[in-house]
Chains A and B, each alone.
Chain A
């Protein structure tokens, strides 16, 4: 990926006068925290982790359907990013870079499992202890029947996404769960925009086929 080299002098000056209180880290934008991390400020990196680890974990969980692997990959990605942060040419590109690392680590993991070309994964999530379980859906409704119905629909959506091919799962996860646009997804997965569009289109057709009975009732 070709990142532009931008390191505004004003940002450097601001970093020199950095107030190292907790509030300064919480309020700082990502690019300032990235610049602090370059200077090996672990508190700044902890704040970046706090902001983005959930995103990394969820991409890994959707692509791999395995809680333990998703947790391992989340940690591994953040260690690697810290090690290689000096190579990041633009502090503003941090998030795209983080997601690219996540997708690449998920692919390595799938390759090791020999599942990269298998069309679908088990729709259930493998828990840390190896047991297979349905995903835990938080109950956010006061009405038990509504809550049950919502839980059922979430499980159905999860199963439908888990049954897609790994390529399609990556694209659907980044588009619908992460809210990334096509150009960003193209950078993250390292494929041309046309390829991403056709994967997304195929995935939408697959999801329509798998979930239509829920909306036709």
Chain B
């Protein structure tokens, strides 16, 4: 990149306080030797002076404060239920609540004992259960149930093998 091109790229930062001291010194050194870059800098300075001199504030319309005042005054305090609803339904809190519900649901699912053995028991034919009860009830608290399960398992295995 030629020195003129580089200088002209940097010129738009000149006199804005945006250049480092070193850059500014480089530009000024080049401009003092190069008529074309000096002309560009003069042009930019003139245009920005024109902007600064002629950019101006417009008068806002009258009565803006009354509108602000009325809007502030007219607003009624929100009912507690509405404020509570908004508090709960803020996105972060809603996401947190969803995670908590999922965690509780997962905990309940894992914590509940499997019903599979009970289903097996209930599926045992009634006569096997009665037979087991008669034979083993006197031997202990759960002896009849254990025997019934053994009988049912044995009969199921036989059924599978026969199939």
Q: Determine how close the nearest CB of chain A comes to the CB of B70; give it in whole angstroms.
A: 10
Q: Determine how close the nearest CB of chain B comes to the CB of A202; give it in whole angstroms.
A: 8
Q: Does B5 contact A (CB under 8 A)?
A: no
CA distance A162 to B12 in the complex (A): 19
Q: Does B18 contact A (CB under 8 A)?
A: yes
* Beta-carbon contact of A177 and B13 below 8 Å: no
Question: Within 8 Å CB of B58, what residues of A?
Answer: 57-58, 61, 135-136
Q: Does A71 contact B (CB under 8 A)?
A: yes
Q: Determine how close the nearest CB of chain A comes to the CB of B59; give it in whole angstroms.
A: 7
Question: Within 8 Å CB of A46, what residues of B?
Answer: 65, 69
* Beta-carbon contact of A153 and B54 below 8 Å: yes
The contact string, 1 if C-beta is below 8 Å from chain A, for chain B 60-76, is: 11001101110111000
Q: Does B50 contact A (CB under 8 A)?
A: yes
* Beta-carbon contact of A71 and B65 below 8 Å: no
CA distance A20 to B60 in the complex (A): 28
CA distance A74 to B61 in the complex (A): 11
Cβ contact of A53, chosen from B43, B47, B65, cutoff 8 A: B65
Question: Within 8 Å CB of A135, what residues of B?
Answer: 58
Assuming the contacts A42-B69, A200-B16, A207-B51, asked whether A71 and B56 have C-beta atoms less than 8 A apart, the reply is no
CA distance A181 to B68 in the complex (A): 29
CA distance A189 to B97 in the complex (A): 34
CA distance A157 to B59 in the complex (A): 18
Which chain A residue has the least Cβ–Cβ distance from B68?
A78
* Beta-carbon contact of B64 and A215 below 8 Å: no
Question: Within 8 Å CB of A150, what residues of B?
Answer: 54
CA distance A58 to B55 in the complex (A): 11
CA distance A79 to B59 in the complex (A): 20
Which chain A residue has the least Cβ–Cβ distance from B19?
A197
* Beta-carbon contact of B54 and A54 below 8 Å: no
Question: Within 8 Å CB of B155, what residues of A?
Answer: none
CA distance A198 to B148 in the complex (A): 86
Chain B contact residues (Cβ within 8 angstroms of A): what range? Answer: 20 to 34
Q: Determine how close the nearest CB of chain A comes to the CB of B40; give it in whole angstroms.
A: 8
Q: Does A49 contact B (CB under 8 A)?
A: yes
Q: Determine how close the nearest CB of chain A comes to the CB of B129; give it in whole angstroms.
A: 71
CA distance A49 to B46 in the complex (A): 35
Cβ contact of A200, chosen from B18, B46, B68, cutoff 8 A: B18
CA distance A42 to B54 in the complex (A): 36
Cβ contact of B55, chosen from A57, A157, A200, cutoff 8 A: A157
* Beta-carbon contact of B55 and A216 below 8 Å: no
Q: Determine how close the nearest CB of chain A comes to the CB of B76; give it in whole angstroms.
A: 14
Question: Within 8 Å CB of B16, what residues of A?
Answer: 175, 200, 204
* Beta-carbon contact of B43 and A208 below 8 Å: yes
Q: Determine how close the nearest CB of chain A comes to the CB of B159; give it in whole angstroms.
A: 72
* Beta-carbon contact of A205 and B56 below 8 Å: no
* Beta-carbon contact of B57 and A58 below 8 Å: yes
Which chain B residue has the least Cβ–Cβ distance from A78?
B68
* Beta-carbon contact of A204 and B44 below 8 Å: yes
11 A-B pairs in the complex with CB atoms less than 8 angstroms apart: A55-B57, A75-B64, A82-B72, A128-B61, A176-B52, A200-B18, A201-B12, A202-B12, A204-B16, A208-B44, A208-B48
- Going nearest first, the 9 A-B pairs with the smallest beta carbon separation are A215-B46, A57-B60, A201-B12, A157-B54, A204-B12, A154-B54, A78-B68, A75-B67, A208-B47
Q: For the A-B complex with A135-B58, A175-B16 known, give 15 more contacts whose Cβ atoms are closer than 8 Å.
A: A42-B73, A49-B68, A74-B64, A136-B58, A150-B54, A160-B51, A161-B55, A202-B12, A204-B16, A207-B51, A208-B47, A211-B50, A212-B47, A214-B47, A214-B50
